[in-house]
Structure 1
Amino acid sequence: MTNEELLEKVKTGLGITGEYTDSTLSIKAIAVKQYMMNAGVTIENVENELGIATLTVGVNDIWYLKSGEVKFSLAFDILMTQLKAVSMP
């Protein structure tokens, strides 16, 4: 799945239409995707339905992030735990 396709799925999940926020959303989606993969989630699991939902929650969590602040929601953490478990060899 390309980053552009991923962006469209995140926008759908967030209920966002149009292209005004695409550059900001794209940066955040790529950052959350890399975070997920660095945590051990396989690309296959990032791109499945639960992965896209998790990524969307993560993007929503960091949408209004303030400088120096990093905080994902409990929902994101729970979903990440599930994805990491199914990504184990």
Structure 2
Amino acid sequence: MTNEELLEKVKTGLGITSPYTDGTISIKAIAVKQYMLNAGVTAENVETELGIAALTVGVNDIWNLKSGEVAFSPAFDILMTQLKAVSLP
């Protein structure tokens, strides 16, 4: 899945139709995707429906940046745990 396709899926999940915030959402989506990959989720599982849902939750979690207050939600953590479990060899 390309970054452009990922952006469109995340925007759909967030209910955003305007291209106005594409740059911001794209940067956050790429960052969350890389976080997921670094945490042990396979690229294949990032692109599943559950993976895209988790990624969208992660983007939403880091949407409003306040210095020292950025954190992933418990929902994101639960989804990540499930994705890591199915990513094990």
TM interval, shorter chain, is: over 0.9
- Unaligned stretches of 5+ residues in structure 2: none
The share of aligned pairs that are identical, in percent, is 87
Q: Which residue of 1 aligns with 2:10?
A: 10
Q: Which residue of 2 aligns with 1:82?
A: 82
RMSD: 0.7
Q: Which residue of 1 aligns with 2:55?
A: 55
Q: Which residue of 1 aligns with 2:45?
A: 45
C-alpha displacement at 1:53, in angstroms?
0.1
Distance 1:78 1:70 in 2: 17
Paired letter, 1:68: G
Distance 2:34 2:69 in 1: 18
TM-score (norm 2): 0.97
Paired letter, 1:64: N
Q: Would you identify which runs of 4 or more consecutive aligned residues in structure 1 move more than 4 Å?
A: none
3-state SS of 1:16 partner? coil
C-alpha displacement at 1:65, in angstroms?
1.9
TM-score (norm 1): 0.97
C-alpha displacement at 1:18, in angstroms?
1.4
Distance 1:24 1:69 in 2: 18
